[in-house]
Structure 1
Amino acid sequence: MSSIPDTDLAPNQVTSRPAFPPLRSVVARALASLTTAVVAPTVLFAATLMTFDVMAAVTVALAWVVGATGWRWATGRPVSGLLMLTLGIMTIRTGFTLATGNTFVYFVQPVFADAAVAALFLGSLATARPLVARLAPDFYPVDAALAARPKIRRLFRRLTLLWGLVVVVKGSVTLWLLVSLSTVHYVLIQSSTIIALLLTATAATVALSAVVGRQEGMFRPTA
């Protein structure tokens, strides 16, 4: 009688799980994603505006996002959902601004974009897979078994609510500053305020994720 291969007897033993990374690599990946998609284009926009004008600033900011996305594709690196979202929003904003010459619309468009993004986050809470659960694989190797754990599911829902509220605050602050300040002052104050808000929200996200991740044994000890 022929023997049955071990792979047939114990399929679970040959099914590999994602390698759990150390916490610091997850933090570094999140910060790199945020810097590439949000901080860098915002700083470039403000610096170009101070040196040249609004039209040059919108072009430089979009060029950065397009270049960052193209470079990741060309080198075989994954493109994060945050970077793709930024690319889509900035392409529409910049295209409309260059076509019409209406710079006010460029600055007010993020308010409507934030409303749409907030609706996506908060609306996804009514589904079985909130939006953060869809974005999480950009930063951590999440498989179906891990995503199904009760604490992980609660974490995804809490973080989805957190980011939905953060985007609401971001849009509200943007609109208030836009109608209250000159263009140059608006760009400088809005940029620093929004970056601080996003970095704070990112720190809270990492802290909450670290607490739950350690409870679930998701991080490999660092050397």
Structure 2
Amino acid sequence: MNHPPIQLPRLAALARQAVPKLLEGVVAPLAVFYAALTVLGLKGALAAAVGYVYLGLIYRLVRRIRIPATMILAAIAITARAAVGFWTGSWVIYFIQPELGTICISMAFLASVRFNRPLVQKLTLDYIHLPSAVLRHERVRRFFARITLLWAFVLLANSTVSIWLALHESLGTFMLLRTSAVAVMSGLAITFSIFAFKRLLHRLHIAHA
């Protein structure tokens, strides 16, 4: 197997890209929602959460910054969630809605393994070029199948924990425990996935040097 060396982005570089997006897309919306909840009540918090997302869109339009398609989808999704929240008057319904979507995604991950088209491989190829000879290697195929299974169960576990907390805890406790649990489980899965991938490539390099 002859192919040029595969260069993975450094963890520090990945962190510099991921942390601002995490703060903007996850931490800040929750902080805005909770702060508005304590002052304005549930409906005010829903309006504040929607307003935060649309302010981000307006800011990018004014600054002529490219708006990611995922951000547009997020704006549509949070608008629909807030509308249901207004109609039902329930914060539980507001937070459970995206978890149901996450469960569907985890099922898609499982199905992709069953059909020998693991989704993690497709997502990886969006960021890292892997030669076709590498992708055909049996170790690589097994790796992507196993990592896809890992993420299917991580997503399912995150959603299960979130739904259970929403049904059994107060809003403040839910937000604290849910954010902490998701951060820990996802962080461990991300760290394991990256180091396992680097180890795989190192083994392939030794085996075919």
TM-score by length of 2: 0.71
Aligned positions, number: 198
1:119: which partner in 2? 107
2:170: which partner in 1? 182
* 1:164 and 2:152 correspond: yes
Unpaired runs of 5+ residues, structure 1, are: 1-16, 218-223
Aligned residues of 2:34 and 2:45 also touching (Cα < 8 A): yes
* 1:103 and 2:91 correspond: yes
Deviations 1:18-68 (A, max 9, x none): 983543334544555555443443444344434543334344444555566
Q: What's the CA shift for 1:161?
A: 0.7
1:23: which partner in 2? 10
Aligned residues of 1:46 and 1:188 also touching (Cα < 8 A): no
* 1:75 and 2:62 correspond: no
Deviations 1:53-109 (A, max 9, x none): 33343444445555667849x5347x486x677556434322322344343311222
Unpaired runs of 5+ residues, structure 2, are: none
Aligned residues of 1:130 and 1:160 also touching (Cα < 8 A): yes
1:197: which partner in 2? 185
* 1:155 and 2:138 correspond: no
Pick 1 or 2: higher relative contact order, CA cutoff 8 A, min separation 6.
1
The residue identity in structure 2 corresponding to 1:188 is L
- Partners of 1:121 and 1:195 in 2: CA distance: 20
Runs of 4+ with >6 A deviation: none
Q: Structure 1's 215 and 26: CA in aligned 2 closer, same or farther, altered over 3 A?
A: farther
- Partners of 1:198 and 1:69 in 2: CA distance: 27
Q: Structure 1's 21 and 176: CA in aligned 2 closer, same or farther, altered over 3 A?
A: closer
Counterparts of residues 87-102 of structure 1 (less than 5 Å): 89-102=77-90
Q: Structure 1's 120 and 209: CA in aligned 2 closer, same or farther, altered over 3 A?
A: same
Aligned partner of residue 53 in structure 1, secondary structure = helix
Deviations 1:142-178 (A, max 9, x none): 3562662423332322221111101111121112212
Larger Rg: 1
- Structure with bigger helix share is 2
TM-score by length of 1: 0.67
